[in-house]
Amino acid sequence: MITVSVDLGERSYPIHIGTDLIGRPELFAPHVAGASITIVSNTTVEPLYGEQLRAALAPLGKEVSTVVLHDGEAHKNWQTLNLIFDALLERHADRKTTLIALGGGVIGDMTGFAAACYMRGVPFIQVPTTLLSQVDSSVGGKTGINHPLGKNMVGAFYQPLAVIADIAALRTLPQRELAAGLAEVIKTAAIADAAFFDWIEANIDALNRCDPQALALAVKRCCEIKASVVAADEREGGLRAILNLGHTFGHAIEAGLGYGEWLHGEAVGCGMAMAADLSVRAGHLDDAARRRIVALVAAARLPTRAPELGAERYIELMKGDKKAEAGNIKFVLLEGIGKPLMTSAAEDMLRATLAACV
């Protein structure tokens, strides 16, 4: 097992990375102070890992209950969030009740948001079971739900007490979900570590095969990078925004198609290809680097061509992005692999990118 620390003073927490961690009571025990635990999972993950987690929690002597939600991005909304609150209130959960998010990014985001809101804050633990959630969404304390007019527009910054990333859980991932996680792995390297990007290029076949050693190394490096960024800028006042490479385009794709049509990682992968194109048009990036990015996205079995929504619709959706200021669209672009910058782009360049990448 490897442990990466997120350094946030009194709110610091460990990220444990390894194989068969869900069944280890000692990883949960230090973070459960109250008399009760509520596991939040979904209809896909709970049958796979629910019993294993409950068995690990049994020696702690706590009252354990489970809330099982529908699976998928389409259910990341107020109606589903209220099911968590309903369960907590019906079971008379108090301020020391610990929530455990057992699932991918949707479950992690909603459980974290519920923990931030219930009684104005209860403890929670992340147990991410997808590659995307292990390398990105479970780390850093971003929680929330979607709104029909924008992705993740309602939420809170709220840190977990621990992240327990079990590489063994990735064995049950469908290939499409694995690829979606690889999008965030590639993104992390593209913004922060050129040598890591080289490593992904050399090991993409092993990652596509779900090789546990390759995946453990990828999760570790991504968590190290994200932990350092979050420690420097917890609430995305500046530096942390670089983690959104590909997301301005990607969120527009997700919202424009209707949440759940494309997976988040698929949209981010395509969004990276679009951001690389715009980086070249803006004079920041050379075309050889753009070709490497697009080739790696494609090698991870991710889309590199965006759906046809129309330029006006794309621009409308991007103006609603969280990074936009007074209707001015902000992008994370690249000056080179491992060299991000936050900037705006001339509308004619943006339209040219949309025309070239759709």
User: What are 278-298's pLDDT values in tens digits?
Assistant: 999 999 999 999 999 999 999
150-199: pLDDT as tens digits: 889 999 999 999 999 999 999 999 999 999 999 999 999 999 999 999 99
Average pLDDT over residues 76-96: 97
Per-position b or e across 165-197, b if 16+ CB within 10 A of its CB: bbbbbbeebeeebbbbbbbbbbbbbbbbbeebb
pLDDT bucket at 345, cuts 50 / 70 / 90: very high
What pLDDT, on the 0 to 100 scale, is given for residue 323? 74
pLDDT bucket at 327, cuts 50 / 70 / 90: confident
Determine the Cα–Cα distance for residues 270 and 265; give it in Å rounded to an integer. Answer: 9
CA dihedral 274, 145, 231, 285 (to 10 degrees): 10
DSSP string, 251-271: HHHHHHH-TTSS-HHHHHHHH
Percent of the chain at pLDDT > 70 equals 100
DSSP conformation class of 23: T
Residue 301 buriedness (CB in 10 A; 0-12 / 13-18 / 19+): middle
Look at residue 302 and tell me whether its pLDDT is greater than 80.
Answer: yes
Nearest residue to 154 via CA among 320, 345, 286, 347: 320
Q: What are the beta bridge partners of residue 165?
A: 17
Look at residue 324 and tell me whether its pLDDT is greater than 80.
Answer: no
What pLDDT, on the 0 to 100 scale, is given for residue 59? 97
Is the CB of residue 298 less than 8 Å from the CB of residue 272? no
Mean pLDDT, the chain, integer: 96
Classify 2-172 by CATH class.
alpha beta
User: How is residue 217 written in tokens?
Assistant: 């190394």
Q: SS3 for 14? A: strand
Determine the Cα–Cα distance for residues 68 and 85; give it in Å rounded to an integer. Answer: 13
Q: SS3 for 17? A: strand
Residues known to be catalytic: 120, 142, 184, 226, 236, 240, 244, 247, 251, 264
**Is 3.90.950.10 the CATH classification of the domain at 175-357?**
no
What pLDDT, on the 0 to 100 scale, is given for residue 233? 94
8-39: pLDDT as tens digits: 999 999 999 999 999 999 999 999 999 999 99
Is the CB of residue 302 less than 8 Å from the CB of residue 269? yes
Determine the Cα–Cα distance for residues 37 and 50; give it in Å rounded to an integer. Answer: 13
218-255: pLDDT as tens digits: 999 999 999 999 999 999 888 999 999 999 999 999 99
To the nearest 10 degrees (0 to 180), the angle between helices 347-357 and 264-281 is 130
pLDDT bucket at 149, cuts 50 / 70 / 90: confident
Q: Which amino acid is at 70?
A: H
Pairing of strands 142-147, 331-336: unpaired
pTM of the model: 0.94
Is the CB of residue 45 less than 8 Å from the CB of residue 33? no
What pLDDT, on the 0 to 100 scale, is given for residue 328? 86
Determine the Cα–Cα distance for residues 108 and 345; give it in Å rounded to an integer. Answer: 33
Is the CB of residue 343 less than 8 Å from the CB of residue 331? yes
Is the CB of residue 29 less than 8 Å from the CB of residue 177? no
Determine the Cα–Cα distance for residues 66 and 99; give it in Å rounded to an integer. Answer: 10
Determine the Cα–Cα distance for residues 273 and 253; give it in Å rounded to an integer. Answer: 13
What pLDDT, on the 0 to 100 scale, is given for residue 151? 87
Is the CB of residue 219 less than 8 Å from the CB of residue 173? no
Sorted by where each begins, the domain ranges of the chain are 2-172, 175-357
User: How is residue 198 written in tokens?
Assistant: 């080289």
